[in-house]
Structure 1
């Protein structure tokens, strides 16, 4: 599949919005523009003021447009892993004509069947990730199109999450005058970029140090298995510095960046001036004292995350831990992480020109993930548009089943809206889907359940 073209990744963070414009030609990525602006209307990685967030997004996109010398219309955006659930799913359909080859619509239909799920009213299906297809009992098939059979099954992974977060994201992007091509769960994209092949296979923990929250994700067997979001990040470190040293938040952030260390043992006893609120003369503070403030908050964050990872056995992963995000740029932070978690730790920093900072990892990962999607994955994801019309029902056993699942945690979601022509993807049978009546869709779902239990 030829995915050549221009892609735009939009990473909406708590303190900054980053936009990367990249051109993919024959599998090679060339970054042609980068925009980064201070975000607004955000709280702990989630949009809480749509108008302010839309204006901040527009500013960041305009910055990238000037540098890339192009006009941006379509973007790929990511959402954090808040309140996301990861579950196994299975779908099955009957092929109407045994002599007919399996086509695109059959893949969409079986993905739609796999995504039929009882959900609380505040949640929706985000994505369905096909793991394998089964044609007449023959499993391990990655792409069933072109094959002949009478029964098509799909085993996959279902991602579900809260409607509010995704709705606010979509609304803010549309209000900024942009077309949202795809929404991707952030840890899902990070795993494809910050980990090598062996780390994705044998199992690795990704620690994303954001400003508003810190996210731990477990990738194993090339799949996202678990995530946990700690609702504290670098922004809370800045607040601690501000309170303890009695200085403004702006000055506290500058002190953290210029003099701060994540590991107190690396800091020196040298002093620097600090502007104190209510005093005319600055006070002298040592690097060691500033680092003690920073280390105390970071250690608390990492200790809370460690408890969650220990509960699912993630600390025994052979791949160790890969750290990224803006907080990973703090000197000495890897020493503290290694001391708290007791596992091998390394930092991922993008190697592309103009992106050599861990804060750009997420926006770069969104692009890499989008361009690497197969046709089958795109077809399966397009089924979410249809499946979202199924009226969700509250499951009385929902809470208890959530506690029993090892793959259910705190996450976040996304529902795709992807114009095929912009990304040069295979045309999807939109017209046929649009012409299908509500009664036909409900009859199809009932028939699937009838065939399954027969």
Structure 2
């Protein structure tokens, strides 16, 4: 697969999504899509590697057929469950006699920064460089080609449970694929879904998947915090099934076709038929009654998320809230969230043809994030992914893959819905006009003190 072709793999609780995209002059062109029902995954966790790998294979086969491209390497998202963000730093002496900093020196200082006394059950998922320091001169983004005696790197590492990483990797490999990159899902989404102002001032991104809901904070263009609620769209479907005494399949269908997140927006007079177990004739149900069932579960999720975010004053961030994931397709979701969080809210929907639904935000974010990585980010990440850097050249060999012993998956999922009605929030507001430079510095200073 050439360097400009990328395949994103989203292993979700309710569905597996695969996107094949080509990066042409900075523009991502989607060539094919695979979307299959998940098996072997419960509440975001891979509980059966064999079934999960079969689901992955089916989705990949579908994407191959639609794109006409054989898929070997995939970029896989890893969920936020039990992820930790920690500062890291490293320092090395410049190896070349000319003292000119090369790729090998960057790789060496990255390896030095990753040396941590991690618990045996955890593994480094990603290394994010913030700055390089050459002989005491800081704030350098790319030190290659500079001359110096000492090179330092300051940044952050993201670590996760080995079980989660191993089960993801094992399932992908068993499906006949190479997980060339395993990328933190909230990081990829935050860097691609949020605009520059939202990333700068600080914004909460809430991904409402099928098996769980993840809230992430992006501030100063960095992932600062994540929290996971173990309920998602699958629980809404089960609520409908239990309350109405109907099958899960029927519940999923009425949720997609007639569901509202906000009962205030649903109609009492609009009715639809639903098959009820033990009755020969369908039951007539109003949109409003269905919405009350849906809203009750979403309220519980929002309340728990709000509690986690309130503890760190994150709800005061000027960027507000951005919703995505399959549940975010429910009409009225932005209005309900704006009321519950007392914040401006918008819903993110990809604008690519065939992907105009929030459930496709994660796989699209994975390929976009990977395609937009700078050379220095790719080089730093190569140290993590086991790619080879020649000591006497500046070449990075791109086809080596680290075989660490790691394990178990907890992937975010995106529920598949057929309607997008009212999914775009009416509350989308430009934060740049609201918060000028003075306010910006005030917020940055406050959250810098808290997060750092």
- Give the match's secondary structure for 2:396: coil
**Shift of residue 81, structure 1, vs aligned partner:** 0.6
User: What is the aligned residue count?
Assistant: 395
Change (3 A) 1:429 1:282: closer
Change (3 A) 1:419 1:266: farther
1:41-440 equivalences in 2 (<5 Å)? 41-96=40-95, 99-269=98-268, 270-384=270-384, 416=385, 426-428=395-397
Correspondence for 1:38? 37
**Shift of residue 216, structure 1, vs aligned partner:** 0.3
Change (3 A) 1:429 1:257: closer
**Shift of residue 298, structure 1, vs aligned partner:** 0.3
TM-score by length of 2: 0.84
User: Quick one: distance in 1 between partners of 2:133 and 2:31?
Assistant: 42
Report if the CA contact (8 A) 1:203-1:218 is conserved.
yes
TM-score by length of 1: 0.84
Q: Is the deviation greater in 375-384 or in 58-67?
A: 375-384
Q: Which runs of 5+ in 1 are unaligned?
A: 385-415, 434-454
User: Quick one: distance in 2 between partners of 1:430 and 1:330?
Assistant: 41
**Shift of residue 120, structure 1, vs aligned partner:** 1.5
- Give the match's secondary structure for 1:155: strand
**Shift of residue 382, structure 1, vs aligned partner:** 2.3
Give the alignment's Cα RMSD to 1 decimal: 1.9
User: Quick one: distance in 2 between partners of 1:340 and 1:373?
Assistant: 36
Change (3 A) 1:345 1:98: same
- Give the match's secondary structure for 1:173: helix
Report if the CA contact (8 A) 2:26-2:372 is conserved.
no
**Shift of residue 103, structure 1, vs aligned partner:** 0.9
Correspondence for 1:402? none
Report if the CA contact (8 A) 1:104-1:429 is conserved.
no
Q: Which runs of 5+ in 2 are unaligned?
A: 403-452
- Give the match's secondary structure for 1:76: strand
**Shift of residue 25, structure 1, vs aligned partner:** 1.6
Report if the CA contact (8 A) 2:240-2:251 is conserved.
yes
**Shift of residue 282, structure 1, vs aligned partner:** 2.0
**Shift of residue 100, structure 1, vs aligned partner:** 2.2
User: Quick one: distance in 2 between partners of 1:30 and 1:430?
Assistant: 23
Q: Is the deviation greater in 275-284 or in 120-129?
A: 275-284
